[in-house]
Amino acid sequence: MRPVIPTGEDEVVASKEISGGVMVQPVGGGGDRRRSSGARWSFCRCRRAVAPPPPPNCSAADLAGVATGVTAATSAYLFTHPDVNGFFTSLKGLPREDTRTKVDENAVANPQVKAELEGIRQPAVDIRNRCG
């Protein structure tokens, strides 16, 4: 089946791409994808909707690598900061709203810990911003 290209009023079936556009033929009305009998072929300067390629270093492997690095660094940080580890461990089982409130309160009370954890998570933020 040939791709259907919406044109605003009617749909057309793309026949063949040529320099600067495609040759098209109208499709029958009412959503019927059969070609109208006797319809003439015409030239359309429409472009195919093609997704842009992903930015470099945005493959699944790149994302997994960054996530793994952030997870490992967070684990190392928590093991070397038992008080912070204890705080986050104490949140287990709390309702999400309570957890968010306690984390926010802890960040205000411990700005250095907040900055250190944000630094650890920064590669994940960067790749999310760059890769979408």
What is the DSSP code string of 32-87? --SBPTTPPPEEE------PPPPPTT-SHHHHHHHHHHHHHHHHHHHHH-HHHHHH
For residue 49, tell me if it sits in a domain: no
Cα–Cα dist 87/77, whole Å: 13
Within 10 A of 101 (CB to CB), how many other CB atoms are there?
Answer: 12
Judge whether 51 and 43 are in contact, CB under 8 Å: no
**Residue 47 contacts by C-beta under 8 Å, 6 or more apart in sequence?**
none
Classify 41 as helix, strand or coil. Answer: coil
Domain extent at residue 103: 60-131
Q: What is the pLDDT of residues 74-127, one digit of tens each?
A: 999 999 999 999 999 999 999 999 999 999 999 999 999 999 999 999 999 999
Instruction: Provide the whole-model pTM.
Output: 0.59
Instruction: Give, as one character, the DSSP assignment of residue 24.
Output: E
Q: Domain total for the chain?
A: 2
Domain with 72 in it: what CATH number?
Answer: 1.20.20.20
Q: Same structural domain for residues 12 and 66? A: no
Report the alpha-carbon distance of residue 107 to residue 96 in Å, rounded: 16
Question: Does residue 93 share a domain with residue 117?
Answer: yes
53 belongs to a structural domain: no
Q: Is 84 contained in some domain?
A: yes
* Mean of all residue pLDDT scores within the chain: 79
Structural domain includes residue 50: no
pLDDT in tens, 93-107: 999 999 999 999 999
75 and 115 fall within a common domain: yes
Do 27 and 89 have their domain in common? no
Measured in whole angstroms, how far is the alpha carbon of residue 68 from the centre of its chain? 19
Judge whether 29 and 35 are in contact, CB under 8 Å. Answer: no
52 occurs within a structural domain? no
Does position 34 have pLDDT exceeding 60, yes or no?
Answer: no
Residue corresponding to tokens 């204890």: 86
